[in-house]
Structure 1
Amino acid sequence: MCLLLRLWPVLSLLLLAACDQNQVFEKNADFDSYTWTVQEKPAFEFEIQDTTQRYNISFNVRNASMYGYYNLYVKHQLFGPDGKPISALLHQMILMDPQTGEPRGKGTGDIYDHQFVALRNQQFRQPGTYKIVLEQYMRQDQLPGIMAVGVRVAKAENK
C-alpha cells in the first residue's frame, strides 16, 4: 500500500501526459538517496522536427517534505544539434509558500511534484536533437529531499 501511495503521483502524471497532444518530450532523472549533489548534472536529449512551431520547456521537480528550503535554484544550458550553446539561465522555483511552509506542488503524503515553465515560446532554428543540462545552483553540495528533476517539451498554443 505504501508503495502504491509513493507511485501515485508518477502514475497520475503519466496518465495526464498520455492525453496531452502537445507534448513532444518528457523525461525525469531520479537521484540516489533522494539527494541532488552539485556534481550531478542531468542531461536530456529531445528531437525537434518542426522549426515553425514554438515550444514551452518546463522543468519537473519532485521533492520530499524533508527538503530544507522553500525554493530551488536551477541553472539550465540548452545546446543545439550542432553542439553549440543556445541559452543558459538561472531559474528560481518556489516549492513551498515562503510564509507558511505549505507545499505548492501536487502530491500525496510527503512527496510533491512541481512543473515550472522555464522557457516559454522557444523557437528552434534547425531540426535535430537538442540537449538541455540541469544543474542545482543552491549554496550547498548536497540537497537532501530532492528526489528527481526532469524536462518537458510541449508545443506552445497559438493565440
Structure 2
Amino acid sequence: MKGLRLLLCTVLLIGGCDTNAVYKEYTDIDDGKWYIKNAPSFTFEIADASQLYNIYYNLRNSVSYGYYNLYLTRYLRDASGKEIESRLDELILMDPKTGKPNGDGLGDLFDHKFLIKRNYRFPKPGKYTMQLKQYMRQDPLLNIMSVGITVEKATQAH
C-alpha cells in the first residue's frame, strides 16, 4: 500500500502543470535517510539571461519527520564550476506550536515548494548547477523522501 501511495504521489507531482517551469527535478533519498555526504546536484540550462526567474526548493517528507524545520545549504555554480552563491536556508515544514504539517499531504507524505529566489537574473545564458546539502547535524536525517528544485520564468504580474 505504501508503494502505491508513493507511486500515486509521484504521478501527481510529475503531472502537475508548471507552465512557466524551465526545469523541475527531484532526487529520491534512499530509504528516507539523508546522509550529510549525499548532496544532490541539479544542472539546468538558462537560454535567456534577460528573463527573470523564480527558483524553488521541492521537498517531500514523511509525517514522521522529527523536526518542524529543515536547514539546507545551497550552492549555485556556473558552467565552469565557479560558485556564484552559497547560502544556508531554513525551511519550515510544520507549525512550530501545533506540529501541524505544512505543504500538500497525501497519506503520510507531504510535498513542499519553497521560494529560494524571486525575480532572479542569471549572469549569462548557459548551464547552471544547484547543489543541496542538509545541514541538520543529524546523520542520517530521517524521513526526508526526496529533494529537488524548480526554475520558473517569473511572471510580470508580481
Normalising to structure 2: TM-score of the pair? 0.94
Equivalent in 42, 45, 49 of residue 43 of structure 2: 45
Find runs of 4+ consecutive structure 1 residues off by over 6 angstroms.
Answer: none
SS of alignment partner, residue 83 of structure 1: coil
SS of alignment partner, residue 115 of structure 1: strand
SS of alignment partner, residue 7 of structure 1: helix
Cα distance in 2 between the residues matched to 1:158 and 1:80: 26
Residue 59 of structure 2 is aligned to residue 80 of structure 1? no
**Unpaired runs of at least 5, structure 2:** none
Say if 1:23 and 1:154, in contact at 8 Å, map to a contact too: yes
- Corresponding residue for residue 153 of structure 2: 155
Residue 121 of structure 2 is aligned to residue 128 of structure 1? no
- Corresponding residue for residue 100 of structure 1: 98
The CA deviation at 1:141 is 1.6
- Corresponding residue for residue 142 of structure 1: 140
Cα distance in 2 between the residues matched to 1:69 and 1:94: 9
Say if 1:81 and 1:127, in contact at 8 Å, map to a contact too: no
SS of alignment partner, residue 15 of structure 2: helix
- Corresponding residue for residue 62 of structure 2: 64
- Corresponding residue for residue 10 of structure 1: 10
Q: How many residues align?
A: 157
Q: Deviations over 1:63-94 (max 9, x none)?
A: 01111000000010000122211111111000
Q: Deviations over 1:15-59 (max 9, x none)?
A: 21xx32210001101111111111100000000010110111101
Cα distance in 2 between the residues matched to 1:113 and 1:9: 9
Normalising to structure 1: TM-score of the pair? 0.94
What residue identity is the alignment partner of 1:101?
G
RMSD: 1.2
Residue 32 of structure 2 is aligned to residue 34 of structure 1? yes
The CA deviation at 1:2 is 4.4
Say if 1:22 and 1:155, in contact at 8 Å, map to a contact too: yes
Cα distance in 1 between the residues matched to 2:8 and 2:102: 17
Say if 1:9 and 1:107, in contact at 8 Å, map to a contact too: no
SS of alignment partner, residue 53 of structure 1: coil
Cα distance in 1 between the residues matched to 2:2 and 2:80: 45
The CA deviation at 1:125 is 1.6
